[in-house]
Copies of this chain bind each other. A is one copy, B any other.
Amino acid sequence: MIVAFSITPLGVGEGVAEPVARAVKVVRDSGLPNRTDAMFTTIEGEWDEVMDVVKRAVDAVAEVAPRVSLVLKADLREGVSDGMTSKIESLERHLS
């Protein structure tokens, strides 16, 4: 499955780059395909491995923030591999 998620620390001020960087580090160290943009980090894998990464990312932020908000969107589809790339390729074919 493909998961896009965003972690927001509360109670640490309005600038949240340092706590969020802790989460992104967990993702990059995970070995799963991943991408981070201004709003979400996207990873791809099986449920258990993806959710383990999300949990550890949340924990990394919770170490430095008293409250954490998590927003997650997942796309689950049997038999799709390399979905992060193939979804965009399919989309671009319809746009060209």
Q: Residues of A with Cβ closer than 8 Å to B?
A: 2-4, 6, 8, 10-11, 13-14, 16-18, 20-21, 24-25, 28, 35-40, 42, 47, 51, 55, 58, 62, 65-78, 83-85, 87-88, 90-91, 93-95
Query: Within the complex, what minimum Cβ distance (angstroms) separates A56 from chain B?
Result: 11
Query: Within the complex, what minimum Cβ distance (angstroms) separates A47 from chain B?
Result: 6
In chain B, what residue has the closest Cβ to A58?
A: B76
Query: Within the complex, what minimum Cβ distance (angstroms) separates A67 from chain B?
Result: 4
| B42 lies within 8 A of A77 (CB) | no
In chain B, what residue has the closest Cβ to A88?
A: B38
> Contacts A38-B2, A39-B75, A42-B38; is A67 near B10 (CB within 8 Å)?
no
